[in-house]
Amino acid sequence: MSRRHAIIHVGPPLRIEDLGSANGTRIRRELDAQETAKLLDTRIQRGTAVEIKVGEPVNLGSTLLVVRRREPTGTIAAGDGKWEPIVRDDAMVKLYALAERVAGAPLSVLLLGETGSGKEVLAEHIHRRSPRANGPFLRLNCAALSESLLESELFGHEKGAFTSAVRSKPGLLETAEKGTVFLDEVGELPASIQVKLLRVLEDRQVMRVGGLHPRPIDVRFVSATNRDLAAEVKKGTFREDLFFRLNGIALLIPPLRARLGEIEPLVSTFAARAAAALGRRAPTIAAETVAALKDHRWPGNVRELRNVIDRAVVLSGGDTVMPEHLLLDSGATVTPPPAPVAPAASAAAVIASAPTVPYDPSLDAGTPHPDLDAGGDLRAQLGDLEKRRILDALEKCAGNQTQAAALLGMPRRTFVARLTAYGIPRPRKRPG
Three-class SS string for 337-369? CCCCCCCCCCHHHHHHCCCCCCCCHHHHCCCCC
Stretch 333-356: mean pLDDT: 37
**pLDDT for res 68:** 65
Q: How far apart are the first and last CA of the chain?
A: 51
Mean pLDDT, residues 394-404 taken together: 84
Share of the chain above pLDDT 70, in %: 76
pLDDT in tens, 280-330: 899 999 999 999 999 999 999 999 999 999 999 999 987 899 999 999 865
| Across 236-256, average pLDDT | 95
Residue 16 contacts residue 8 (beta carbons within 8 Å): yes
Q: CA-CA distance, 284 to 277, in Å (whole number)?
A: 16
> What is the rounded distance in angstroms from the CA atom of residue 416 to the CA atom of residue 425?
10
pLDDT of residue 372 exceeding 60: no
- Strand segments (E) across 261-388: 284-285, 320-321
Exposed (0-12), middle (13-18) or buried (19+): which is 37, by Cβ within 10 Å?
Answer: exposed
74-88, 173-187, 258-272, 321-335: range with lowest mean pLDDT = 74-88
Q: For residues 165 and 176, is the Cβ–Cβ distance under 8 A? A: no
Q: Identify residue 189 by its one-letter amino acid code.
A: L
What would the mean pLDDT of 183-193 be, rounded to a whole number?
94
pLDDT winner (highest mean) among 41-55, 91-105, 382-396: 91-105
Residue 11 in this model has a pLDDT that exceeds 70? no
113 with 79: CB under 8 angstroms?
A: no
Least confident of 66-70, 103-107, 206-210, 399-403: 66-70
In the sheet where 63-66 sits, what is the strand order?
36-43, 25-33, 57-60, 63-66
List helix spans (H) across 116-262. Answer: 119-128, 147-155, 172-175, 191-203, 229-235, 240-246
What are the tens digits of pLDDT across the range 18-72?
887 877 888 766 544 444 444 456 777 777 778 887 667 788 877 777 776 554 4
148-155 average pLDDT score: 90
For position 420, what pLDDT does the model report?
Answer: 82
Over the stretch 69-90, which tens digit does the pLDDT of each residue have? 554 444 445 544 445 678 888 8
Q: How many angstroms separate the CA atoms of 169 and 154, rounded? A: 11
- Select the more confidently predicted residue: 86 or 346: 86
CA distance 156 to 175: 9
pLDDT of residue 15: 76
CA–CA gap between residue 23 and residue 58 (Å, rounded): 13
Torsion of CA 185, 191, 196, 201, to 10 degrees: 50
Average pLDDT for the chain: 79
Question: Which of these ranges, 137-146, 272-281, 291-300, 390-399, has the smallest mean pLDDT?
Answer: 390-399
The Cα 17–Cα 131 span in angstroms is: 27
Is the confidence at residue 136, as pLDDT, over 50?
A: yes
- Position with higher pLDDT, 44 vs 156: 156
Per-residue pLDDT band for 13 (boundaries 50, 70, 90) equals low
Beta-bridge mates of residue 63: 60
The pLDDT score that the predictor gives to residue 220 is 96
Check residue 382 and give its pLDDT. 65
Packing angle between helix 301-316 and helix 263-277, nearest 10 degrees?
50
Separate counts of helices (H) and strands (E) for the chain: 15, 20
What pLDDT, on the 0 to 100 scale, is given for residue 381? 62
Phi, psi for 404 (deg, rounded to 5): -65, -40
Strand partners, 6: 18
CB 31 within 8 A of CB 44: no
Whether the pLDDT of residue 354 is over 50: the answer is: no
Residue burial 55-91, b: 16+ Cβ < 10 Å; e: rest:
ebebbbeeeebeeeeeeeeebbbbbbbeeebbbbbee
**pLDDT band, residue 219 (cuts 50/70/90):** very high
Domains of the chain: 6-66 (no CATH), 90-253 (3.40.50.300), 258-422 (1.10.8.60)
Q: Assess whether pLDDT exceeds 80 at residue 366.
A: no
Query: How far is the C-alpha of 277 from the C-alpha of 74, rounded, in Å?
Result: 16
What pLDDT shows up at residue 25? 83
For the chain, helix, strand, coil in percent to 5 are: 40, 20, 45
Residues contacting 397, CB < 8 A, separation 6+: 141, 144, 403, 404, 407
**Cα 219 from chain centroid?**
19
The pTM of the full predicted model, rounded to 2 decimals, is 0.60
CA distance 206 to 154: 9
Which range, 249-258, 400-409, 418-427, is most confident?
249-258
What confidence tier does 247 reach under pLDDT thresholds 50, 70, 90?
Answer: very high
Nearest residue to 29 via CA among 37, 41, 18: 41
Residue 178 contacts residue 135 (beta carbons within 8 Å): yes
Q: In the prediction, which pLDDT does 57 show? A: 76
The partner residues of 157 in beta bridges, in order of sequence, read: 169, 209
